[in-house]
Every structure is written in C-alpha cells, then in structure tokens.
C-alpha cells in the first residue's frame, strides 16, 4: 500500500506528513505527533479512550484512518488544555474525584467538552447520553456526571 501525504490542523497547528494509507488517526496522533493523551484502549470503537474532536465532533480515533482527515481539524485533550478550555472541567473532575486510574479521562474530557460546547447547561440525561461511548471501570460514572454538571454551572 502506498503512502499518502496528509495535511491537517491538530490542536491549532498545521501538520503535514507522508503516512501509510492504513494508519489510524489514533496511531498518527500517538506515534507521529507524540500526543499520548489520546489513549489506545480497545482499537474497536468500544471504550472511548481514544476520543478526539474531528471537525468539532467527537469520534473514536481508532476507527478513523488518518488519510480521511486530510484537510480536517483535529483537537486532542492536549490541545484543549493548552488553550485553557478545560480548566473548569478538569478542576471539577479533580474536586469530585471523577478520576481514578485516569485511562478513560482524556476521552471523557473530550466528550464532556463537546457536550458543553453544544449545550452549555445540559441535563443529567444529556450528560449521560454524551458519555455513553466512554467506558470507565473505576468511578461508577456518578462522580463523572456530577463533575460535568458542576463544570456547566461554573
């Protein structure tokens, strides 16, 4: 399979690389750009640990080929943090003990951030629906929902 030149904006920075056509966005972010906040969980789109924003929408980066992102905008948890966009959300996650092992946290933060962008004052049901694709084995979700609710009120 031939390599392809791909150009995309990642966390506000234009990136251009020659990559294999079969490389996932997840592998591109982690291996080519060293953005390791995006976690490699299941590689099947089941856990949400690899969630990023692709043109403003949350996606499982393990299911998207990097070549499909040519010309796109991608935001990872690192990019949101650099701009300070997650400060309140991160703070509420810490205050509510919504973080334990931390593996799911980047995906949870991205999904919650996307929700708050489209619905600044979501109901608990909306929060649960927005996080349905993100699995957590440590917290039991109630603390995560509470943290997102608190961030919306901040």
- Structure confidence at residue 81 (pLDDT): 75
Q: What tokens were used for 125?
A: 């049901």
Q: What is the pLDDT of residue 138?
A: 85
**DSSP assignment, residue 5?**
E
Average pLDDT, the chain: 93
Beta-sheet pairing, 73-75 with 3-10: parallel
pLDDT band, residue 154 (cuts 50/70/90)? confident
Helix or strand run (H / E) with residue 112: helix 105-118
- The fold of the 3-80 domain, in CATH, is Ubiquitin-like (UB roll) (3.10.20)
Helices then strands, counting H and E runs in the chain, come out as 6, 5
What tens digit of pLDDT does each residue of 7-62 get? 999 999 999 999 999 999 999 999 999 999 999 999 999 999 999 999 999 999 99
Mean pLDDT to the nearest integer, 49-78:
97
- In angstroms, rounded to a whole number, what is the distance separating the alpha carbons of residues 50 and 44? 10
Lowest mean pLDDT: which of 37-41, 46-50, 79-83, 138-142? 79-83
Q: Which percentage of the chain shows pLDDT scores above 70?
A: 96
For the cut 60, the answer to whether the pLDDT of residue 90 exceeds it is: yes
How many whole angstroms separate alpha carbon 74 and alpha carbon 103?
20
User: Which pLDDT tens digit goes with each residue over 102-119?
Assistant: 889 999 999 999 999 999
- pLDDT at residue 88, as a whole number: 82
Domain boundaries, the chain: 3-80, 84-153
By CB atoms closer than 10 A (0-12, 13-18, 19+), residue 101 is: exposed
What is the rounded CA–CA span in Å between residue 109 and residue 130? 11
The CATH architecture that domain 84-153 belongs to is Orthogonal Bundle (1.10)
């Amino acid at each position: 399979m031939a390599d392809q030149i791909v150009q995309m904006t990642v966390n506000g920075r234009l990136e251009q690389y020659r990559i294999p056509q079969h490389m996932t966005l997840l592998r591109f972010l982690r291996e080519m750009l060293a953005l390791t906040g995006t976690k490699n969980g299941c590689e099947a789109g089941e856990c949400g640990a690899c969630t990023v924003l692709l043109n403003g929408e949350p996606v499982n980066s393990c299911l998207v080929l990097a070549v499909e992102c040519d010309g796109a905008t991608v935001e990872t948890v690192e990019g949101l943090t650099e701009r300070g966009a997650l400060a309140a959300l991160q703070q509420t996650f810490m205050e509510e003990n919504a973080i334990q092992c931390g593996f799911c946290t980047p995906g949870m933060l991205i999904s919650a951030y996307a929700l708050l962008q489209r619905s600044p004052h979501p109901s608990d049901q909306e929060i649960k629906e927005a996080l349905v694709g993100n699995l957590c084995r440590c917290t039991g979700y109630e603390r995560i929902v509470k943290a997102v609710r608190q961030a919306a009120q901040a």
